[in-house]
């Protein structure tokens, strides 16, 4: 999983997208960052800092998303279909003259991973809805998360079986060398 925006993408995005300055919760310092998604119903924005690390602004404070567990703050995004999130980000990028698509840099995998790790039926179910929309290469990054769902007793039998089936599909595709 990549929790940092790559340099080439970062350079193009920071040239075109308006930045914001917000106080970082952990340090009380102000950081420059670039929001790419405004989830108004969730009262938060998600974007990246100048160094490419992802962050979420909520209640006028910025939360750094560098460790995997910190993406738990973003699971509320799972309540919106992935296709809508993609379209919203891509439209925002186009309106700012950016040709890069959200799939090349937005942390869809990390957010889906956080949903699988949340260990509640609700978030795991929503994480599967996003997982189903991901490209094969991104699904491969979630094998550990699927194993976690299989092994946890908090997930329903239905969800554990679905995770097990998905693992088998990924392993079969890896062995055959093809992509779904």
Per-residue model confidence as pLDDT tens digits over 112-139: 999 999 879 999 999 999 999 999 999 9
Calpha distance 103→133 (Å, rounded): 11
Sign of the C-alpha dihedral computed for residues 129, 130, 133 and 134 taken in this order: negative
Listed by start position, the domains of the chain span: 7-176
pTM of the model: 0.91
Strand 30-39 and strand 20-24: the pairing is antiparallel
| Averaged pLDDT for residues 164-172 | 95
* 44-84 tens-digit pLDDT: 999 999 999 999 999 889 998 866 557 888 999 999 999 99
Cβ neighbours of residue 11 closer than 8 Å, sequence gap 6 or more: none
Whole-angstrom CA distances from 156 to 23, 125, 170 are 40, 10, 21
DSSP strand pairing (61-64 vs 20-24): parallel
Give the residue from 57, 48, 52 showing the smallest Cα distance to 24: 57
């Amino acid at each position: 999983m990549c929790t940092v925006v790559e340099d080439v993408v970062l350079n193009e995005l920071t040239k075109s997208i308006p930045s914001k300055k917000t106080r970082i919760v952990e340090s009380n310092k102000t950081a420059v960052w670039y929001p790419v998604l405004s989830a108004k119903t969730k009262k938060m924005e998600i974007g990246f800092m100048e160094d490419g690390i992802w962050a979420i602004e909520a209640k006028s404070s910025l939360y750094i998303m560098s460790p995997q567990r910190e993406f738990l703050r973003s699971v509320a995004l799972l309540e919106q279909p992935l296709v809508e999130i993609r379209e919203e980000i891509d439209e925002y990028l186009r309106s700012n003259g950016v040709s890069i698509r959200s799939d090349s840099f937005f942390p869809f995998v990390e957010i889906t991973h956080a949903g699988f790790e949340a260990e509640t039926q609700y978030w795991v179910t929503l994480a599967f809805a996003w997982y189903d929309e991901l490209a094969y290469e991104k699904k491969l990054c979630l094998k550990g998360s699927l194993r976690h769902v299989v092994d946890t007793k908090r997930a329903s039998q239905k969800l554990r079986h679905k995770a097990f089936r998905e693992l088998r599909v990924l392993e079969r595709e890896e062995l055959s060398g093809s992509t779904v």
